[in-house]
A and B are shown apart, each in its own frame.
Chain A
Amino acid sequence: AQKVTQAQTEISVVEKEDVTLDCVYETRDTTYYLFWYKQPPSGELVFLIRRNSFDEQNEISGRYSWNFQKSTSSFNFTITASQVVDSAVYFCALSAPSGYSTLTFGKGTMLLVSP
């Protein structure tokens, strides 16, 4: 069975602080995908990244960066110089590589960035 754990329920930071959201996963699959989504108060899910289990390179996209550590089954997400617009719930998710598989979501981390 697949499982995604986001131990941080809520994080509060002040604007311009860096913040890391943790994600730990469990799977028996040798190949899998990991995802991060942002859910603003409006409710829609915004895709941030998808990472194949074979690709352990860290990724940077603007103020966002992701650290994939297969040895510790972690896929952590860092926001550098946070902004108020980053306030949202962030979900980490896991799927098998087939499009016939479903996404397993973590419980989410609510990030509150205050001015």
Chain B
Amino acid sequence: SAVISQKPSRDICQRGTSLTIQCQVDSQVTMMFWYRQQPGQSLTLIATANQGSEATYESGFVIDKFPISRPNLTFSTLTVSNMSPEDSSIYLCSAYKPGTVYGYTFGSGTRLTVV
């Protein structure tokens, strides 16, 4: 399947700081998606990122807290700002790959712990 390289794989951060997560896709994709998975929970969509336009955020998520960049068709970043322990989660990026069996490909996830 197509590869998304996601970094960092894990981090422990102090409350009040920010962390930027990067995702690099091995080929051009139109849409990228960012998900949050809180401990023991399912995946919740944070936002959809289209190259050249502002990301579209889901209810409950705001740009000031989760700014997203999409500078080109193979790269995106998600920043978790002013972190609190409630932000401790796994964050995953995803991309849709048309013409593939799997459709959506996922990064390996960033396991964030805020202390």
Contact = CB atoms under 8 A, between A and B. Distances in A.
Contacts, number: 47
Query: What bracket does the count of chain B residues touching chain A fall in?
Result: 20 to 34
Interface string B46-60: 001000000000000
Chain B interface, DSSP helix/strand/loop, else mixed:
strand
Given A100-B31, A102-B48, A105-B43, A43 B101 contact: no
Main secondary structure of the interface of A (DSSP, over half): loop
Interface residues of A, number: 17
B109 A99 contact: no
A55 interface: no
A100 B30 contact: yes
B75 interface: no
A37 B106 CA distance: 11
B72 to A, nearest CB: 18
Interface of B: 1, 30-31, 33, 41-43, 45, 48, 90, 92, 94, 96-98, 101-106, 108-109, 111
